[in-house]
């Protein structure tokens, strides 16, 4: 069927034997925009088998050649930025400019991974035995990094290209093969990215992109004995994957409720600007978005006033028009957000704007005087809706941060760096930004969540380390 995008395995674009497809709904029009193949279990098995065969060859390919291939991939991807951005706009309603940025950032990430990997993989260790009691100097240990085998990469809808390459590039440079399971929403953008890799020329089978329903092939992929590592970004599914997966390294990033603590001496203009950028961009559909503001009572009024004023300048509309607030990814997501908002309304929160929703398009809201009995104080809306909790003490803010199951990032605003560091130390989350909104990038910084926000550390350098193991050869002298 010419209308259905093919899946990729064995270095070829293929039609699934299932003759079934999965539809991708455009969040803005609510119409089916694209269709992708619903791959069968047999096709998954075959792709993993080919990946293993290709990985053996790839691992023996000189590192500089692997890096060269990745650089080619990065170049082709950047050349395709406008075409890929077009599908991002249609599949996930990301504003057009941000969609282009996602692709360019992805190209940069691939090149960086090639540069970083070539150096990290070149380094080994030479150890002598006589440091440890009871040993003479008769054993020489040569330790170096080797790949894990086949890495299963599962990115989410919000960065279907970038969070795919942030897994694929470290996997490939270290000599692994990759099975990519793109998110349904974002699959076509991911397939286009894979086509760039195809044109760059990797061994056949080294990279596969398997599309289909998670309910049909998800468990098979994540529990497959041929998968040697899983790198996942997404929601709750990650928790069930962790429970089902075998004894393999897991890298999981499962969302956040990033808390923004604003102290009395904060630069409120700076804090308000960061709430706008860090809370409402891509309609709040980022794991690292500010998802709750804890502001000291004495400055709350002024901060809220500034944010509300800046919110009036947010353009609400369609991604094609580069609006700031665009439709959220699905109807079920919009319904979930609405549920959180209604709960807060019923329980007496103060709304600074009217609730307004047109299909999946939700107008931005700042919900004030939020109390702990409201769901929005704890849950992640993944939409353009931010709760404000007015706090009497800094400890109260720290408590809100630490009592949440999510613990990805957080931020603190204060002109006193010593105070900010004390608060940062007390906030039990993966990363704290001082005087800026949470963010994953620059992409070589470590990126990790504590508690239900995940396991393992991402970021180019950390992923490179994580996707390898150590192999030693010990030379025993007489
Ligand atoms: O999952 C990470 C993503 O949601 C946040 O990335 O770059 O927007 O901070 P970024």
Tell me the C-alpha distance between 205 and 12, whole Å: 8
**Ligand 1 neighbourhood includes 286 CB (under 6 angstroms):** yes
pLDDT in tens, 175-198: 999 999 999 999 999 999 999 999
Q: Which atom of ligand 1 is nearest to the CA of 285?
A: 4
User: What is the token pair recorded at 366?
Assistant: 């700042």
Task: Output the CA 282–ligand 1 centroid distance in Å.
Answer: 10
Percent above pLDDT 90 for the chain: 99
**Ligand 1 neighbourhood includes 40 CB (under 6 angstroms):** no
Q: How confident is the model at residue 32 (pLDDT cuts 50, 70, 90)?
A: very high
For residue 160, pLDDT beyond 70: yes
Task: Output the CA 442–ligand 1 centroid distance in Å.
Answer: 11
Task: Output the CA 398–ligand 1 centroid distance in Å.
Answer: 23
Torsion angle of the four alpha carbons 367, 371, 377, 383, in this order, in degrees rounded to the nearest 10: -10
For residue 81, pLDDT beyond 50: yes
pLDDT in tens, 88-113: 999 999 999 999 999 999 999 999 99
Position 1 scores a pLDDT of: 47
Tell me the C-alpha distance between 419 and 163, whole Å: 34
pLDDT (mean) for 119-132: 97
Sequence-separated (6 or more) residues with CB below 8 Å from residue 413 = 260, 261, 262, 263, 266, 267, 268, 270, 271, 274, 420, 435
Tell me the C-alpha to C-alpha distance, in Å, between residue 289 and each of 60, 186, 304, 372: 41, 20, 18, 20
pLDDT (mean) for 434-455: 97
Q: Which residues of 38-59 are buried (b: 16+ CB within 10 A; e: fewer)?
A: bbbeebbebbbebbeebbeebe
What interface predicted TM-score (ipTM) does this complex get? Answer: 0.95
Question: Do residues 181 and 152 touch, judged by C-beta distance below 8 A?
Answer: yes
**Ligand 1 neighbourhood includes 287 CB (under 6 angstroms):** yes
**Ligand 1 neighbourhood includes 457 CB (under 6 angstroms):** no
pLDDT in tens, 201-223: 999 999 999 999 999 999 999 99
Tell me the C-alpha distance between 299 and 368, whole Å: 13
Q: Which atom of ligand 1 is nearest to the CA of 440?
A: 9
Tell me the C-alpha distance between 136 and 478, whole Å: 11
Output the residue whose Cα is nearest ligand 1's atom 2.
Answer: 287
pLDDT in tens, 379-403: 999 999 999 999 999 999 999 999 9
pLDDT (mean) for 440-446: 97
Pocket test for ligand 1, best of 108, 260, 288, 410 (most atoms within 8 A of CB): 288
pLDDT in tens, 401-424: 999 999 999 999 999 999 999 999
pLDDT (mean) for 152-157: 98
Q: Give pTM, 2 decimals.
A: 0.97
For residue 471, pLDDT beyond 90: yes
Position 114 scores a pLDDT of: 98
User: What rounded mean pLDDT belongs to the chain?
Assistant: 97
Position 2 scores a pLDDT of: 56
The label of the residue with tokens 């807060």 reads 344
For residue 351, pLDDT beyond 80: yes
**Residues annotated as part of the active site:** 253, 287
Task: Output the CA 287–ligand 1 centroid distance in Å.
Answer: 5
Position 248 scores a pLDDT of: 97
**Ligand 1 neighbourhood includes 440 CB (under 6 angstroms):** yes
């Amino acid at each position: 069927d010419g209308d259905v995008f093919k899946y990729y395995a064995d270095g070829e674009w293929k039609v699934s034997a299932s003759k079934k497809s999965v539809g991708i709904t455009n969040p803005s029009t609510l119409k089916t925009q694209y269709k992708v193949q619903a791959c069968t279990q047999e096709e998954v098995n075959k792709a993993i088998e080919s990946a293993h065969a290709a990985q053996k060859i790839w691992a023996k390919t000189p590192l500089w050649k692997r890096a060269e291939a990745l650089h080619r991939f990065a170049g082709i991807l950047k050349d395709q930025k406008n075409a890929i951005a077009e599908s991002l706009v249609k599949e996930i309603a990301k504003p057009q400019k941000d969609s282009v940025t996602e692709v360019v950032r992805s190209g940069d990430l691939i090149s960086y991974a090639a540069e970083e990997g070539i150096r990290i993989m070149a380094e080994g260790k030479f150890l002598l035995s006589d440091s440890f009691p009871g040993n003479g100097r008769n054993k020489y240990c040569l330790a170096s990094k080797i790949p894990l085998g086949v890495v299963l990469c599962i990115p989410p809808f919000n960065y279907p290209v970038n969070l795919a390459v942030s897994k694929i590039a470290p996997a490939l440079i270290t000599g692994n093969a990759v099975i990519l399971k793109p998110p349904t929403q974002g699959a076509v953008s991911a397939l286009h990215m894979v086509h760039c890799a195809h044109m760059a020329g990797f061994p056949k089978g080294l990279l596969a992109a398997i599309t289909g329903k998670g309910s049909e092939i998800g468990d098979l992929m994540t529990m497959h004995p041929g998968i040697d590592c899983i790198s996942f970004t997404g929601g709750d599914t990650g928790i069930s994957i962790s429970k089902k997966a075998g004894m393999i390294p897991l890298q999981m990033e499962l969302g956040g409720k990033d808390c923004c603590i604003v102290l009395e001496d904060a630069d409120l203009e700076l804090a308000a600007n960061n709430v706008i950028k860090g809370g409402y961009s891509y309609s709040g559909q980022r794991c690292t978005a500010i998802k709750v503001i804890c502001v000291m009572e004495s400055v709350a009024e002024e901060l809220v006033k500034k944010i509300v004023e800046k919110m009036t300048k947010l353009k609400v509309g369609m991604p094609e028009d580069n609006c700031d607030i665009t439709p959220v990814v699905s109807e079920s997501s919009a319904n979930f957000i609405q549920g959180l908002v209604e709960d807060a309304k019923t329980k007496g929160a103060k709304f600074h704007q009217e609730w307004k929703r047109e299909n999946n398009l939700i107008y931005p809201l700042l919900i004030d005087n939020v109390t702990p009995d409201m769901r929005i104080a704890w849950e992640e809306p993944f939409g353009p809706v931010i709760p404000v909790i007015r706090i009497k003490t800094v400890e109260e803010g720290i408590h809100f941060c630490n009592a949440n199951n999510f613990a990805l990032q957080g931020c603190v605003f204060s002109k006193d760096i010593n105070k900010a560091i004390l608060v940062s130390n007390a906030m039990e989350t993966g990363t704290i930004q001082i005087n800026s909104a949470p963010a994953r990038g620059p992409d070589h910084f470590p990126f990790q969540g504590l508690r239900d926000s995940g396991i393992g550390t991402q970021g180019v350098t950390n992923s490179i380390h994580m996707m390898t193991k150590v192999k030693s050869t010990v030379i025993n002298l007489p």
